[in-house]
Structure 1
Amino acid sequence: MSAPLRRAVVDLDAYRANLDLVRSWMEPVELMAIMKADAYGHGLDAIALTAVDAGIRWIGVLTVPAALRLRSIGVGEDVRLFTWQHDPGLDFRDAIDSAVDLGVSNVAELQRVVDAVDHRPARVHLGVDSGLHRDGATVGEWPALVEAARDAQRAGRIEVVAAYTHLAESSDADDAAAVAHFDAMVEQAEDLGLDIRWEHVAASLAGLERKEFRKDMVRMGANLFGIPGADGVSAADLGLTQVMTLTASVAKTKRVPVGTGVSYDYTYRTDAETTLALVPVGYADGVPRAAQGRVEVTINGTRYPIAGRVAMDQFLVDVGDDDVRVGDPVTLFGPGEDGEQSVLEWGRALDTIGEEIVCRIGGRVQRTYEGHSGEGRVGAYLRGERA
């Protein structure tokens, strides 16, 4: 049977196994499963419901609309949904009414939250800029933010759940300095009369490598998808399994003579009479244009480099005299169990990280789910049995 034109196969059993393993590493610290960017391109709904079925009680999704999406598919208030990047024009009322946790980094943002409170207090995490300079209050801004939060909490308008920061992961020394800075800010908040009950600073890499940085909770994203961030460390080295496999099918084959120019600009020419196989996946689907000659795809158990420029909708491989036919399945990347390249190998070959590769996979690539999808809330959802 021919394979679909293009497909991302998401192994929910692998995700759950990774989740259970990482959670065992973090115990007794709480684990927040990070699912920003549509769960790193894997599909937010199925990933989140799998995590909930596995007992996860903290999920990070970046934005309020993503959190409200999860509430709408049945993720109840027993699961805390943390968001931290907010549209300047966002009305926070729906988020507050749906018990969505809000990361807040400045007084103006906090005031917008307070103004939106109606019948229940807003759940707020106060952000500290410890050196990454993307989010969080600076040293100069922090006292005013703390005092405003303290007063709003005393007035019953908000509940300060936690303080948090994000580390640059530049070096052990830089991260240690950032955590020391964060600790000083928390101490200052307590001196100003605000009790900080929860602290979370470490994401996937720091959470894995620096036990002393785990605090009360670790935010884990890439590791849960089988994409470790440590240099030179594979998923298999850690006992993790890559969750996504990107596949396609050969759409056309063409026999061409020696010296044939292939794709745009003729950056590749055949060195013998050969067969070209057309794979209907291109940069519009997330395969970088720079992938020519740098990554390999697998057809019938044999790996072939991409030949010629990657186009918007397709690329070619030179399969020589091998018996490759229309409809044959093509694996672009996978867990590596059958000899195919992994996401990490793609990342190294393309001078980037595995997370970028999976996040690039476009919306016209069909996501299909295997494994845990037949069970619990996930199976019900994928069968169309909405909450």
Structure 2
Amino acid sequence: MRADAPSTLRARIDASALTRNVAAIRRTIGDRTLMAIVKGGAYGHGLEHVVPAVLGAGVRRFGVATLAEALDLDDLLTRLPHGEEADVLFWIHDATTDLVPAVARGFEVGLSTADGFVRVRDAARRTALPALVHLKVDTGLGRGGFTPAQVRDLLADLAEAGDCHDGEVRIVGLMSHLANADVPGDPATVEQKELFDVLHAELTDFLAGPGARFATGEHLRTHTANSPGALGPDEVPGDTVRVGLSLFGLSPFEEITAADLGLRPVMSLVSRVLTVKEVPAGHGASYGLTFRTDRPTRFALVAGGYADGIPRAASGQAEVTIRGQRLPVVGRIAMDQMIVDAGGVPVEVGDEVVVLGDGHTGPSAEEWAAWSHTINYEIVTRVGPRVDREAVTTDGSTPEEAHRG
């Protein structure tokens, strides 16, 4: 954000909604530990607005995808007024990733390959600090993670390896990821759960026996649940849950709404009307002239387009809210702007436009997802960097009070 050139399309990030969502999630997960997933710039919401509020709600474990994201998060934590401390886990890296900064800063590293284990061990030696790792196992999703055969081979190799010193690499966690947790009762979730339980038992035996030098002496942290796994009706393994989407007030289920889960959307996108003009019947709108008016009407030009993350695929279906009225976006959504058919609504230049709201204040992420044939996850995470984020609250507190919880 440039203070001397604020963006016209702005993302309002509701700190009080974050606090409320953390409380609602905790009521559901019980005594399990909440790990806040803030990858992808906190799902497009902006780390600097999300992390303080989540810390204020008492969360002390965070997960991101990449080392760069972990470093950005750690830098933010050190800049906060009281130098907040939190555990940080990341899991996407390869042979080009220097893991020395990760070990030096005490990050927890998710490992999916034997090569990754060697690289994190080497980083521990270069820093003279212990490497903290979570073994990631593929229980059926088919993405990252050791297959059952691979993790068993790893444990067998580690049991015989004479070049790994006590405490050099500490296995602090076991993790997996669910494929169909957003479909309650899906048999695939049961299959993944059963396989995870087997691998958990094998790893526990390893750490208590031949792999004792990799143990911490503390409880092995386990986690498989994403938002649907954490908030859905199915029982899934783990003393920790990794919650991303639902933290931001969106539901991961098709048939269960955010309101049903006690969640409130954190982000709204608000723009302004740039111009208003009278146009005759038969007038075209935007590139390709895919829309022509069937009557004399008024076009309102609104700042915001696909460079900001507003999906072009929603062209011809999308709506926005101006003066409390839902109005259609006509023609193709362009890179920086879109045309709204204001009809008889007395829209004026400078009027506020709610591009994304909670379904009442303006179109929801779910509506935008339906219009563009995607999912609500993508709608919020695609909001671009030239959209300024600003902290707001809707419960009467200041953002600072919300951050303090």
Task: With the length of structure 2 as denominator, give the TM-score of the two structures.
Answer: 0.88
Which of 196, 200, 203 lines up with 1:189 in the alignment? 203
Partner letter of residue 281 of structure 2?
V
- Listed as ranges, the matches of 1:1-387 within 5 Å are 5-74=8-77, 78-117=85-124, 118-147=127-156, 155-169=166-180, 171=183, 172-192=186-206, 193=209, 194=211, 197-210=220-233, 212-338=235-361, 340-371=362-393, 374-375=399-400
How much is the aligned-residue C-alpha RMSD, in angstroms? 2.1
Contact 1:291–1:306 (8 Å) recurs in 2: no
1:215-255 Cα shifts (integer Å, max 9, x gaps) = 21111111111111111222222221100001100011111
Distance 1:224 1:373 in 2: 20
Partner letter of residue 107 of structure 2?
V
What secondary structure, in the 3-state scheme, does the structure 2 residue paired with 1:134 have? coil
Q: How far apart are 1:42 and its partner, in Å?
A: 0.2
Q: How far apart are 1:185 and its partner, in Å?
A: 1.8
Q: Which moves more between the two structures, 203-212 or 31-40?
A: 203-212
* Aligned match of 1:384: none
1:167-189 Cα shifts (integer Å, max 9, x gaps) = 10165200110111112222232
Partner letter of residue 269 of structure 2?
L
Partner letter of residue 347 of structure 1?
A
Q: How far apart are 1:373 and its partner, in Å?
A: 6.3
* Aligned match of 1:385: none
1:22-53 Cα shifts (integer Å, max 9, x gaps) = 01211111111111100000001221122112
What secondary structure, in the 3-state scheme, does the structure 1 residue paired with 2:109 have? strand
Distance 1:373 1:334 in 2: 20
Distance 2:76 2:147 in 1: 37
Runs of 5+ consecutive residues of structure 2 not aligned to the other structure: 1-5
Task: Summarize the Cα distance change of 1:251–1:96 in structure 2 as closer, same or farther, 3 Å threshold.
Answer: same
What secondary structure, in the 3-state scheme, does the structure 2 residue paired with 1:88 have? coil
What secondary structure, in the 3-state scheme, does the structure 1 residue paired with 2:155 have? helix
Task: Summarize the Cα distance change of 1:301–1:376 in structure 2 as closer, same or farther, 3 Å threshold.
Answer: closer
Contact 1:164–1:200 (8 Å) recurs in 2: yes
Contact 1:274–1:321 (8 Å) recurs in 2: yes
Distance 1:140 1:365 in 2: 46
Q: How far apart are 1:359 and its partner, in Å?
A: 0.7
Task: With the length of structure 1 as denominator, give the TM-score of the two structures.
Answer: 0.91
What secondary structure, in the 3-state scheme, does the structure 2 residue paired with 1:357 have? helix
Q: Percent identity?
A: 39
**What is the aligned residue count?**
376
Partner letter of residue 101 of structure 1?
E
Distance 1:123 1:373 in 2: 38
Distance 1:242 1:73 in 2: 24
Runs of 5+ consecutive residues of structure 1 not aligned to the other structure: 380-387
Task: Summarize the Cα distance change of 1:329–1:376 in structure 2 as closer, same or farther, 3 Å threshold.
Answer: closer
1:76-134 Cα shifts (integer Å, max 9, x gaps) = 68411010111431111111111100000111011000001122201100010111111
Partner letter of residue 81 of structure 1?
V
1:296-346 Cα shifts (integer Å, max 9, x gaps) = 1001111011100111111101111321111111001112343x2211222
Partner letter of residue 106 of structure 1?
T
Task: Summarize the Cα distance change of 1:377–1:258 in structure 2 as closer, same or farther, 3 Å threshold.
Answer: closer
What secondary structure, in the 3-state scheme, does the structure 1 residue paired with 2:194 have? helix
* Aligned match of 2:3: none
Contact 1:153–1:159 (8 Å) recurs in 2: no
Contact 1:282–1:313 (8 Å) recurs in 2: yes
Contact 2:313–2:371 (8 Å) recurs in 1: no
Distance 1:55 1:149 in 2: 37
Task: Summarize the Cα distance change of 1:176–1:153 in structure 2 as closer, same or farther, 3 Å threshold.
Answer: farther
